[in-house]
Structure 1
């Protein structure tokens, strides 16, 4: 299993869980020191891992990840494109350089990872797992270009899936769509605001995303939402987009702590402080998503989707009456 963005957050949680279940891991990220520590930690627990220092925004660096995996293990069964960053700031205020860098990592990192991985996955009958977001379906203020990159990832992933299916390739493609997750994501983001950033509630534990990724590696699904709130917001936006836009205005305040910024630059242009799975979200963190755990069982998914759309419609009707 190849995992990009493996030095912190969701990628690190996934690497540890996959290694504990017997997978041989190829860790990839920009922070070589953090990757070395994680590699030794996994080996110390009886697992198997190697690491490759790579900036996924460069295709040749992504190719080097695949080459290292094949040289060491002879095959790639699962490739997880997890690396990603954000910017907190109004779209008009963010520099072109920062916007370009975000898209290079978030979008082109997934494109390069997918296109490098697919030839190997065709041979192994493997699984490609791309990390989108609930922001693949909806948009919210202060992270506009992040939302745009996640929309682009969804479009690319869906088109690639169709092309592989038409070709008859034995490759499963899954898009994971997490809601807000308690990782160091806000601290790694470039920050243009006058406040320390945070994620809007509800916020979920990163282990729930790792669970979804591991499930998809063995029992692929087309899309997996992590967090019932994310699924509900997606359904709500689909049936009442203008109402959702008005509600979305409240997310400006929900993404700011009442404290000054700590590190404005974040990890957008260079590796940051890595090695941690969880962040320091100041509010309540939901340790489990019962929606996601039920949705990982295909028989339950249809019922959950119906319930989500019905709930969104009920919210819309209530908002209209008010």
Structure 2
């Protein structure tokens, strides 16, 4: 096979792009015409290149030093009936899940619900509005009274990160919801990991829950795109509920992403993307300005 000579392609610069864009826009200023605001109220330009990442060595240095990790697929199960919950839990674990998030209010049925589950090889976590006996569980505890910071469905990305960084003290886990914007989701988690790292909290487990869309058809795409974005950003675990409540499809989406895409291990795969690097930097600066 003949080796490609990449030097035959003309060099491109932001200035050249602006000239071409201005011509195609019939004299209009590309910066004014094509710039828009994303969900974080951050200005997004139509074109990014190496000029936009020239001063981002601090991000490169940070992400080059953090350890990679394998992300985990979780499934949420509501425990109302021990037998029914047990069937769902076993089916989820046999279907490829690495852990279960149990929504439970009565610790009397917690034991029967976990019958046949080897808790040493999977993560079992609790969500409850009251204290529940969690002896023998190795995941995050009660999100209200335990060691997991539950953020709720905050729609403002900057607000979510400000809450995360300012309230994470004395917690080991962070439970957040994904954003629908693919690139914003990646950059938000990268920014979160950097901000936590500057506080010596790089070991915080970040769990991301995919949001439910009002359209069942749209949810199929959102489950896949949001999950991939969350993984690329650096989430340690994800949960992909469907609008129709079909757990089998959720598990299959997660397993396909892990087995077919090859992104089963996080190691900052998005480093080098001019847009994502620049967006991460902007989010970090916005959050830091709010925290002052």
More helix by share: 1
TM-score (normalizing by structure 1): 0.29
